[in-house]
Amino acid sequence: MKKIILVTAGVLLMATACTKTTERNADQTTTTETTTYSATMPAVDTAATQAAKNDAIDAANTAGDKARELGHDAAAAGRDAAHATGTAMETAGQKIQEKTETRHD
C-alpha cells in the first residue's frame, strides 16, 4: 500500500513540474524568457520501510512456526488415537477369547 502511495505522489509531483515560456515583443525584438519549475521528491523513509518489511517477515515466520506446531500436534493426536484404538481392539479380543474358550477334555 505504501508503494502505491509513494508512486502516486511521485507521479503527481512530476506532473507539477512544468516549463513556463514568456515571449515579449519590444521594438521589433523578440525576447524569450524560460522559467522551469520543479518539485522536490520526498525522501523515502527507509527506516519505516525496513521496519514494515521486518514486521512482515516476523509475521510470516510466526505463522509458519504455528502451522508446524499444529502439524506436530495433529500427528501426536493421530498416534494417540491409533494407540488407543489398538489397545481397545486388544482388550476386546481378549474378552472374546475368554467368552469363547472351549474345553478340550
Grid coordinates representing 61 are 515466520
pLDDT tens per residue, range 14-66? 555 544 555 555 555 555 666 666 666 566 678 888 888 889 999 999 999 99
Q: What is the reported pLDDT for 86?
A: 94
Confidence of residue 98 (pLDDT cuts 50, 70, 90): confident
Q: What is the reported pLDDT for 53?
A: 87
Domain ranges for the chain: 58-97
- 3-state helix/strand/coil string of 6-45: HHHHHHHHHHHCEEEEEEEEECCEEEEEEEEECCCCCCCC
Q: What is the reported pLDDT for 37?
A: 66
Output the pTM of the full model.
Answer: 0.42
